[in-house]
Structure 1
Amino acid sequence: MTDLTRAKWRKSRRSTNSGGNCVEVANTLDAVRDSKNPQGPVLTCAPAALGAFLAGVKSGRLD
């Protein structure tokens, strides 16, 4: 697993400042977290699995 203490996080382009559902992805592409709770839990996985997960989210299959 990657050391996430030095990771750079990028917020989704669809995020707003109005309290909606927002995620951030680490520059290592193996972790996501809730942008409203950056000190909270982090979901980690293999980069290829993260790509499949994000594709599922974007398509609405995981709503």
Structure 2
Amino acid sequence: MLDSQMLLAERFFGAFERVIRLPGRAITEQMKAQYHNGLLIIRIPLAPPDGEKVIPIQFT
């Protein structure tokens, strides 16, 4: 993804809990989390800023 960016990278052993604040534009219904080989990846899509509209382009 071109618009992805890493916000935080940590490495711990054992149980822990993390609480993060989500931006108001976060689309929580479309959040995805994946745990693979000891790495937790959480993807949180953002809605476009106010006044902007996303128009999908279909390629044929």
TM norm structure 1? 0.22
Q: Which has the higher helix share?
A: 1
Q: Could you say which structure has the larger radius of gyration?
A: 2
